[in-house]
């Protein structure tokens, strides 16, 4: 058991290390591993009994697999099926083949080499997604492909976790005794019990617990679900993670999915962090001194093979040159599941301890170097490798009455209504990937930056009547409005604002026709709610009209004092009181 003093050491190390790594814009996973290195046997030696900590930490992986199962909704998989099952499976197979062959040539037996190749082919889902999110690249072509590949890797690891106990030397000895069919029967029986029992018993039981309306009881039920399915799988010789994953998949499309995920997430985060601390404590840093060249060769080979293989696959699947290389530089590092696989393979006597320690340390180094490689690539590519920017499209249309700048979700709705009324328009968008995607659906759109004067002139801004400013980026929207107001003063601007501050900035430029993007839809929804509660349609519309008039008056008043925080707050309070008095007066009249 973990003592109270050990718990305090683990928590303190996690808080300090993760906070420091996040301040340095590095992954929290690396922070946990670094904390383990510092307090472990090769550091300050503050924790002596690693085995007791490891037993608790393993449950973090079980909870992680349950959460992954919850997120695997069938509809989500279907939308991304080509990337997930096409590019994802190709990446895992090719990298497993190349890395497994290298391990075999290095002297490992075929079974061990296959496990090593597969484990090294995986990447860290939380690490990669965090790096892409920080760079704003999740919605790019290589960002979507990276997400699909990671999703397939999460799926692929489950059957391997289930197979490892069956192919271990211990299992082989049992099979030669004539009971291999019994092990297979257990495996199928557990899967059937989890699937059928989950449908017939688990969901009804959760509905009963939900009616109690006590949060901690539902949290206990969520943990019980994970533990029960994990133990059931373990009894049959399967991985506990596999049982938890199956339970998560069964509940992925249930009404309890979000609540279960919210209840499990804190436990998963803490225990998974503990697992990575154990990885750090277990890392044999003596190998850095005794076999530095071997360790660096494994790490460099892993990074190089995965980087080139992924980039080649990306080119074969119609990624642009730079997008393919960015995908390659996004996924070269190892992942947290390699720790799980190699630890399990060692326990099952498939890998020896020395090889496992060497591989775990190499994966740890690769995870530290992965984000740095991507930063290096972007710096080099932006300065030397990228060719000249793709020229903007030539606009061959003239005398078009409407120009739409920004063809995202807002601009497209405006365009669809204009098309219904047979009103011609010119649409501009500066995101080439977005333009190519929208064109596939028959939309006429030009690739171009609306904040450039030459492009606006080519689009016919001098003769157009209406300029619809629907650009999503606030800074780009303001730059464009400033240019249009200065160069084409007769062009009437109808602008989309993300919020009040964006609206104020546009008003500073003299733009008067401003629509806050969620404003009208929110008012419309409020009207529908009033009607559902018994208000007449006329009464609901009257409330909406008065609220809109009052809010627009308030917006003008706040704009006049927006630079004086005291007056701005006083205006907001006064406006709220006036609105309340207005509706009180209406209610008194109706009585």
Q: What is the pLDDT of residues 242-262, one digit of tens each?
A: 778 777 877 776 667 767 777
496-505, Cβ contacts within 8 angstroms, sequence gap of 24 or more? 496/406, 496/410, 496/411, 496/468, 496/469, 496/470, 496/471, 498/472, 498/474, 500/555, 500/558, 502/474, 502/477, 502/478, 503/555, 504/558, 504/559, 504/562, 505/474, 505/478
Q: Whole-angstrom Cα distance, residue 475 to residue 502? A: 9
432-441, Cβ contacts within 8 angstroms, sequence gap of 24 or more? 432/390, 433/140, 433/141, 434/407, 434/408, 435/407, 438/407, 438/412
Q: Is 426 helix (H, G, I), strand (E, B) or coil?
A: strand
428 backbone dihedrals φ, ψ, rounded to 5°:
-125, 140
Distances (CA, A) of 165 to 160, 248, 344, 432, 455: 9, 22, 8, 49, 64
Q: Is 250 helix (H, G, I), strand (E, B) or coil?
A: helix
Which residue, among 159, 153, 158, 149, has the nearest Cα to 82 in the 3D structure?
A: 149
Q: Is 211 helix (H, G, I), strand (E, B) or coil?
A: helix
Structure tokens of 404? 């739409």
- The DSSP letter of residue 405 is E
CA 236 vs. chain centroid, Å, equals 34
Which residue, among 141, 148, 133, 125, has the nearest Cα to 367 in the 3D structure?
A: 125
- Residue ranges and CATH numbers for the domains of the chain are 26-378 (1.20.1530.20), 402-590 (3.40.50.720)
Structure tokens of 12? 């303190």
How deeply is 403 buried, as exposed, middle or buried, from its count of CB atoms within 10 A (0-12, 13-18, 19+)?
buried
Q: Is 390 helix (H, G, I), strand (E, B) or coil?
A: coil
Structure tokens of 483? 């240019």
Q: Where do we find the tokens 């799980």?
A: 340
Structure tokens of 260? 């279960």
Q: Whole-angstrom Cα distance, residue 158 to residue 297? A: 29
2 backbone dihedrals φ, ψ, rounded to 5°:
-85, 130
Q: Are 154 and 126 in contact (CB under 8 A)?
A: no
The residues of the chain scoring below 50 in pLDDT are: 175-179, 387-393
Q: Could you report the per-residue pLDDT of 55-98, keeping only the tens digit for each? A: 777 777 777 778 777 766 666 666 677 888 889 999 999 999 99
101 HSE (CA, 13 A, CB side):
6
509 backbone dihedrals φ, ψ, rounded to 5°:
-90, 0
Q: Whole-angstrom Cα distance, residue 224 to residue 228? A: 6
Which pLDDT belongs to residue 283? 73
Q: Indicate the angle between helix axes 537-560 and 519-532, nearest 10 degrees.
A: 150
Q: Whole-angstrom Cα distance, residue 322 to residue 380? A: 12
Which residue, among 269, 189, 266, 260, has the nearest Cα to 225 in the 3D structure?
A: 260
Which pLDDT belongs to residue 234? 76
Which pLDDT belongs to residue 120? 94
Which pLDDT belongs to residue 83? 84
């Amino acid at each position: 058991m973990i003592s109270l003093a050990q718990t305090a050491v683990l928590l303190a190390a996690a808080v300090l290390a993760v906070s420091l790594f996040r301040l340095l814009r590095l992954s929290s996973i690396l922070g946990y591993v670094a904390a383990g290195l510092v307090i472990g046997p090769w550091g300050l030696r503050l924790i002596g009994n690693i085995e007791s900590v490891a037993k608790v930490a393993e449950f973090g992986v079980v909870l992680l697999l349950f959460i992954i199962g919850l997120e695997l909704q069938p509809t989500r998989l279907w939308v991304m099926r080509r990337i997930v099952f096409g590019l994802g499976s190709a990446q895992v197979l090719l990298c497993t083949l190349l890395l497994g062959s290298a391990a075999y040539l290095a002297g490992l037996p075929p079974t061990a080499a296959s496990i090593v190749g597969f484990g090294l082919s995986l990447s860290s889902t939380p690490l990669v997604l965090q790096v892409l999110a920080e760079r704003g690249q999740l919605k790019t072509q290589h960002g979507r492909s990276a997400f699909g590949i990671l999703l397939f890797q999460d799926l692929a690891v489950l059957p391997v976790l289930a197979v490892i106990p069956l192919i271990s030397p211990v299992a082989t000895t049992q099979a030669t005794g004539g009971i291999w069919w019994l092990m297979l029967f257990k495996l199928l029986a557990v899967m059937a019990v989890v699937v059928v029992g989950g449908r017939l018993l688990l969901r009804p039981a959760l509905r009963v617990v939900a009616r109690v309306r006590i949060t901690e009881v539902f949290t206990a039920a969520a943990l019980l679900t994970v533990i029960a399915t994990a133990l059931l799988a373990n009894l049959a010789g399967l991985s506990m993670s596999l049982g938890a994953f199956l339970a998560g998949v069964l509940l992925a499309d249930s009404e309890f999915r979000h609540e279960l995920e919210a209840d499990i997430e804190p436990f998963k985060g803490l225990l998974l962090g503990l697992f990575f601390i154990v990885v750090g404590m277990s890392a044999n840093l003596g190998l850095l001194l005794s076999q530095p060249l071997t360790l660096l060769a494994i790490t460099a080979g892993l990074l190089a093979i995965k980087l080139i293989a992924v980039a080649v696959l990306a080119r074969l699947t119609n990624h642009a040159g730079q997008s393919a290389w960015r995908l390659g530089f996004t996924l070269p590092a190892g992942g947290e599941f390699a720790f799980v696989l190699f630890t399990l393979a060692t326990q099952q006597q498939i890998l020896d301890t020395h090889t496992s320690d060497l591989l775990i340390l190499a994966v740890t180094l690769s995870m530290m170097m992965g984000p740095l490689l991507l930063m290096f690539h972007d710096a080099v590519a932006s300065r030397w490798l990228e060719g000249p920017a793709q020229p903007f499209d030539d606009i061959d249309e003239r005398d078009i009455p409407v120009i739409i700048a920004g063809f995202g979700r807002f601009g497209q709705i405006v365009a669809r209504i204009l098309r219904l009324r047979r009103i011609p328009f010119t649409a501009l968008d500066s995101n080439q990937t977005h333009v190519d995607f929208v064109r596939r659906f028959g939309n006429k759109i030009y690739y171009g930056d609306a904040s450039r004067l030459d492009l606006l002139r080519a689009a016919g801004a001098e003769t157009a009547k209406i300029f619809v400013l629907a650009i999503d980026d606030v800074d780009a929207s303001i730059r464009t409005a400033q240019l249009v107001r200065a160069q084409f003063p007769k062009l009437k601007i109808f602008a989309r604002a993300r919020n009040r501050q964006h609206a104020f900035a546009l008003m500073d430029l003299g733009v008067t026709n401003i629509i806050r993007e969620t404003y009208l839809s929110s008012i419309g929804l409020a009207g529908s709610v009033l009607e559902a509660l018994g208000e007449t349609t006329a009464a609901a519309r009257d409330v909406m009209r008065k609220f809109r008039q009052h809010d627009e008056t308030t917006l003008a008043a706040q704009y006049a004092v927006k630079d004086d925080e005291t007056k701005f707050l006083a205006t907001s309070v006064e406006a709220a009181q006036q609105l309340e008095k207005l509706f009180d007066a209406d209610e008194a009249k109706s009585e």
